[in-house]
Structures are given as C-alpha cells and as structure tokens.
Chains A and B, each alone.
Chain A
Amino acid sequence: MRLDLDPRTIAQARALAAKVGDPIVELATKHTTVAVERATLRLAGLAGADPDGTPWVNHLVDAVRADIGLEHGIALPVWQALAARNNDLTRLAEEAAAGQVTFRLPEGAEAELAAKHAREAVGAGIARLDASRVTRERMIAETGDAPRKPWIYLIVATGDIYEDIPQAQAAAREGADIIAVIRSTGQSLLDYVPEGATREGFAGTYATQENFRLMRAALDETSRELGRYVRLTNYASGLCMPEIAALAGMERLDMMLNDSMYGILFRDINPVRTFVDQRLSRQIHARAGIIINTGEDNYLTTADAVEAAHTVTTSQLLNEYFAKEAGLEDWQLGLGHAFEINPDVPDSFRLELAHALLAKTIFPDAPLKWMPPTRHMTGDIFKGYLLDGFFNLAGAMTDQGILLVGMMTEAVVTPWLSDRDLALQNVRYVMDAAGRLGEDFHPAPDGFIANRAREVLGESIDLLEKIIDEPNGLLDAIADGTFGLMKRPADAGKGLEGVAEKSEAYYNPASDILEGK
C-alpha cells in the first residue's frame, strides 16, 4: 500500500525538522556530561564496581570532577595520572576512590601524550564495537535471518536474568524474531549502570554488561538451533544512555530503544543532559550496527491519538534528523508509532491506517516500529484480542518493519505463557491470511485515508514552524508541553547537575574517533 503524497511537502517537513534540530545539535556539541565521560572510560576498558556496587567509572569521573571539574573531559587528566603513576585504569580508579590521587589538567607535550594514550585505549573499545558488528553479520550469513517482515518482537521481564533466558529461548522457538528484555522499573533514573548478573528486578531485569552477555550467548545458541538469527533488544534511555550504548555495542545487542526526547518527557530528565547523552549514544549505535527504536508510541499513551497524531510525525522527523546527524543510516531507524486510537471513535481503523501509511510513506527505508494498543485495553480480553488482530492487520497492510506483539491481557497481568501463545497465533493468522493484502489495495487519492494523512502531515509542518518561531526553539516547545502533554523546562529535571559546558581544553577521544576526526 502506498500513499500519494507530494514529495515537496515531505521535503519541506524534513527541512523544517533540520532547522529545529540544528541548534540542539550545537548545544549538544558544546556540553559534556558525567555519563558521556563514563562511557568513554567504559570504551577504554574500565569495568567493575567496588564492593558496594558503585562502578569504578563513577568513582573515577567523580574524583576528576572534584579536582578540576568536568569541563575539560576526563581523558587528559586520567591518562596524565596513569602515566605519572604507571598504573592501569582499575588501579587508578581504586586509588582515586580512596582519595590517593590528585588530578590536574596537563598542558603542552604532556597533554599530547595523554591524548595519544587515551585515544589508543578508547580505540580498543571502538574496535570491539566493530568486531561485534562483524560477528553479527557473519552469524546472520551463516545461520540465516528472520524469514519475513515485520519482525516479531516479544518482551520478557521477570527480573531474574536466569529466568529470562529460558523464557526468551522459548519465545524465540515460538516465533519471536526479536527478544526485548524490559529493564527494571526505575533503572532509567539511576546515575550508574549496575554490575554483574542480577536476579532481583522490579517489573523487569537490570541492564548490565553481564546480563547482556549472558542473554546474547543464550540467543546465539537458540539462533543456531532455529536456523535464524534472533535479535536482542534493550534500552539506552535514562541517565546512562551513552554508557549502556557502549556496553550494548561491545556485547553485540542488535537493537536499542533510544529516543531523542523520551527521557525528558516521561522520566523528567533534564533536556540538555538528554540531548548530550543521546548524541554520543547514537554515534556508538551507528558504529556498532545497532538498530534504534524510538518512542513516539508513548505520546499516544498520554495524549489523544487522533488529536496528537501530528506530534508523532513531528517527533519522528526530529528523531530521524538527530539520528542521521549522529551517523545512523535509514536501515537503523526503527521510528516508533502506535495503534492507540479509541476504538469507539468512528472510522478508527481507517484513521490508524492513515497514520501508519503516513509514517511508511515519509520513511520508506526505515524499519518502522509498530506498537500495539495499550490505552484502550480494558481488561475485556476478548475485545482486546480482536483489537490486537486489527493492529496486526494494519501492520501487515502498511508494511511495518518491527511488530511488537500485543497481549490481550495488557493492563491485566504480565503476559502468561498462554497469552503469548495466543498473541503469536493472532499474528500468524493475520500475516498468513492478509500479509500481502497491501499489494491489492491502494487508498483512493482523495479518499478519507489519503486526506487524513495529508492533514496530519500539514499539522506537523505547522507545529515545526511554530517551534522554530519560539525564542528557544525546541527547548521552549518541550517546556510548553507540546509532546505527550508533558511540560519540561530546560533548566529543570533530573541529571542537570551532571552537565558541564566544555572548556577550550576539552578532549574526548570517543567522539573524535566516532566522528572520523
């Protein structure tokens, strides 16, 4: 199914998104954050935590910051101290935590030497990203890929990685192409990444390097057994975006939830912190060959899905702009949207088709991520099952790339084994019965669907123009509650204390290497 939209209008929307996004990128390049600096140390190979669970990267960044501030970056002072003390990173972090190291900003030849060593160390981490990417490509070539689109995306969330593993393997055997391990509620607000294999989570499992490694290894085994590569997804959102991106890249995760504004809107994380963290995290994803999933579906869980349809389009355009600027390619853009229109609204399915087709038409080469109904799942599981069937049908007809499988017990219980099985039967029936229906039907050029799509795109353009007219552009729009009705001013929110404006002397080898400098 294709929609007949004027390519000039689409180009205009993209140009406006670039105009909105450009000052944000500039803002991001002028600042650093504690999470950016910690991610740099993680790429340089610093891992582990003290006996209380505080990661060494946190200790080291905090120690540097206490001595000379964050604005110069940690690379120069850390590698200066390493050379002076003839140490490795872990020892240095231990000594720094014990208050035995005084950091200073080196200058001249000393600074050049520190920069050289920092770049070598971080370069080794980037090489690990490259190696993971090569391994993924080789495994897909050897075992085969998911047999068809959309890829079927299923969630596991027990809180215990050792329970998650058999559930994930079972879900893959039942037909999942992608396994997402939901994170423990509240991890996004932790200003550190927990360590090790974890067995206690709250409505989800902590994202840790070891949990990533364990799950990927288990799914590699299942991929070989099934003869198709099963992808693994986690979340690069919250206060540790770039660190989690680095860990995911090194441990060969395949997809990451990564939205440019989600943390701001739904987690009340400071906007500047988010935009700075997001940029490095996306540069890392780009290098590691990871597909990002953006979070526009969330807007429709708080705002009305018809009235706010254009905010989804606007956010998709912005997410695309920020993603491309960070080096991601079209095939890596799992732009989000959702089936959340109230089923009591007349023509709700036609409206859903219009919105889904609009996204597919604007972003034809992106693997769009199609999210199932949640808001109007009432506990009437029978009605919910039907609604999920229509969701699957809209996904099939509009050629969505990634289909998150809807559960009829949404808002009732965390999915039971039988819920997942019934949900997959629903998907399979719709795909087998109507998967290629889009070949036969095209919306009438001036019909309801085409007109609705044009209307939403028009509203999106109006909104982008309005944002440009704000004195502080996107930051003002976010502060006003434009997206998801959440009001988030730029000088408030969590994590603001972890942001610093870069000095003249600032040096970070990670961004340099990733930007090809």
Chain B
Amino acid sequence: MTKENRHLIRPYGDTTGDGMVQVSFTLPIKHSKVADGAALQLANKMGMEPAMVVHSKPMGDDFTFFVVYGQVNHLVDTDKVQVVERDFPLLTPKEANAVIKETLRRPMVVVGACIGTDAHTVGIDAILNIKGFAGEKGLEYYKEIEVVNMGAQVSVPALVEAAVTRGADAVLVSQVVTQRDAHLLNTREMSAAFREAYPAGERPLLVVGGPRFDESMTTELGVDRIFGRGTTPAEVASYLVHRTTMKEPAA
C-alpha cells in the first residue's frame, strides 16, 4: 500500500487487505439446509463474498441463529468520515480553575440531572461526582465549579427552576434510557423549556450526554453540545470553561 492511499482501508482479519468480517443474526425460519442457504444469501447481499455460515442453531421451532464470517470488498475512505472533533483545548483541573477565576471572577455554576423517567445516574455521576470516571476526578473536585447534582428522574420544570434560582452557567443532562427514542424526546422537551424560560442569548449552556446520542445532532435537539460514550469529566469541564469564558452567547 502506498503512502498516498492510506486513507483507503478494508477490514482486517489476519492479513492486510483481507476484508474479513463476522456478523451474527437470526432469521425467522426453521433450522434446515434452506435456512443456512438463506443466511448465506443475506451475507452475500450485505457485500460478504465469499461468506461462510460457521454456526447455525435452532431457537425454538420457528427461528434460527447464525454466525457468519466472510470477506467484504468495500473500501472505506477515512478522508470522507465526518465526526465531531474536540474543538477546545483540554485543560487540567488546575488550569480550568485558573481560567474561571480570571475570566468569570466567581465560581461557575453547573446544574446536572437525569431528566424524565430515567433513573440511570451512572453517566451524570461519572461526570459530576468527585469520584469521577476513567481516573479523572469529577466536576465537584474543581474548586471553581459549583455543582448542583439533582440526581434521577428530575422533571424538566424542576430542572429549569433550579437553573434559574442557582444562576446556572451550564446545565448537564444525562440520558441513558433510549427505548422509543426517550432520550431524544426528553432532550427536545428540555431545550424547548429553556428557550421559553430565558430571554434569547441568556440561557445557560445546554449539554447532554449518553451512550446512544449522535454527537452531530446539536441543532436538531436545540442544545449546545452532545457528549457520547466514554466522555471524561476533564473533557466536559474544558468545554464548559471554553464556552463560558469565550463570551460567545449561547445559541
């Protein structure tokens, strides 16, 4: 492979360029030779050619489970991949505190919650609790950040009220439950409520996080930033510092 086309890649099994992938799926069909053939046909249509059905197992009378290995002929072009890259400098807690002290001249107020019926506080706690996540201390550890963690199942009106009374600079919302797009519905409800409660340009930064968000959906959801799986407290703190000290009004 030449240096020029390193942005073009194929899956890797055990040899460069072999294009090997594995998938598993269920077909609603009785386990039989026909079922195996059907699985192979599906794999071929998915671009796996040649493909091998390495495992097929009946699950009850009407279903069969398959594991299929095969070669895909697709190339992916990493130059054409679009992601939300970090567009702010990553700060240590000490640096973040110093910037807040210098520019805001008061502690930054961050209100966090799991809204709606979501009771999974693991995300918001990982970001806010002193204990933190991935070896990084949470926002409560930052001397210049005042954290109000409202916990689970907070209603949107209660969140807005807390943001207003505490003078929040930023509101962090975690959404883990995604059945029937609950995370998207809740986030839209939340951003709409903030738009209503604050004069234009004065509302706090709205940040949502959770494992199933698409980080590029900020405009659609009416928030300033979406953080996905694996986000660490320092990333969130750095973003908040970057945005609140830039003097750029929230959208």
Contacts and interface: CB of A to CB of B under 8 A. Distances in A.
**Are A and B bound to each other?**
yes
A374 to B, nearest CB: 9
B195 interface: no
Nearest to A486: B151
Contacts of A185: 117-118, 177, 179, 182
Given A202-B117, A267-B153, A301-B122, A379 B211 contact: yes
A417 B63 contact: yes
Contacts of A416: 26
A340 B83 CA distance: 33
A416 B117 CA distance: 23
A428 to B, nearest CB: 13
Contact of A268 (B57, B60, B129, B153): B153
Nearest to A420: B59
Interface in B54-70: 57, 59-60, 63, 65
B65 A421 contact: yes
A418 B117 contact: no
B12 to A, nearest CB: 17
Contacts of B120: 301
Given A375-B122, A421-B65, A203 B180 contact: yes
A267 B25 CA distance: 37
Contacts of A421: 57, 59, 65
A411 interface: yes
A266 interface: yes
Interface string B97-136: 0000000000000000000111111100100010100000
Nearest to B64: A418
A350 interface: no
B175 to A, nearest CB: 12
Contacts of A100: none
Nearest to A174: B60
Nearest to B57: A421
Given A267-B153, A418-B26, A486-B151, A189 B117 contact: yes
Contacts of A422: 65
B160 to A, nearest CB: 18
Interface string B15-59: 000000000111000000000000000000000000000000101
A375 B211 CA distance: 13
Contacts of A267: 119, 153
Nearest to A375: B122
A173 B125 CA distance: 40
Contacts of A513: none
Contacts of B116: 186
A170 B119 contact: no
A422 B151 CA distance: 35
A70 B20 CA distance: 70
Question: How big is chain B's contact interface, by range?
Answer: 20 to 34
Contacts, number: 56
A9 interface: no
B65 A414 contact: no
Interface residues of A, number: 25
A202 B179 contact: yes
Contacts of B121: 302
Nearest to B65: A418
A486 B117 CA distance: 16
B43 to A, nearest CB: 16
Contacts of B237: none
Given A379-B229, A486-B151, A203 B179 contact: yes
Nearest to A414: B179
A94 interface: no
Given A185-B182, A421-B65, A411 B211 contact: yes
Interface in A181-208: 185-186, 189, 202-203
Nearest to B229: A379
B152 interface: yes
Contacts of A203: 177, 179-180, 182
Interface string B72-89: 000000000000000000
Interface in A330-347: none
Given A189-B117, A417-B26, A486-B151, A170 B182 contact: no
A416 B28 CA distance: 13
Nearest to B62: A170
Contacts of B60: 170, 173-174
Interface string A415-432: 011100110000000000
B105 to A, nearest CB: 31
Contacts of A418: 24-26, 59, 65
Contact of B119 (A202, A266, A304, A379): A266
Nearest to A416: B26
A296 B175 CA distance: 23
Contacts of A173: 60
Nearest to A487: B151
Nearest to B120: A301
Contacts of A375: 122
Given A202-B180, A267-B119, 6 more contacts: A173-B60, A185-B177, A266-B152, A268-B151, A268-B152, A485-B129
7 contacts: A173-B60, A185-B118, A202-B117, A268-B151, A302-B125, A414-B179, A418-B26
4 tightest Cβ-Cβ pairs between the two chains A and B: A203-B179, A186-B117, A185-B117, A421-B59
Interface of B: 24-26, 57, 59-60, 63, 65, 116-122, 125, 129, 131, 151-153, 176-177, 179-180, 182, 211, 229
Interface of A: 170, 173-174, 185-186, 189, 202-203, 266-268, 301-302, 304, 375, 379, 411, 414, 416-418, 421-422, 485-486
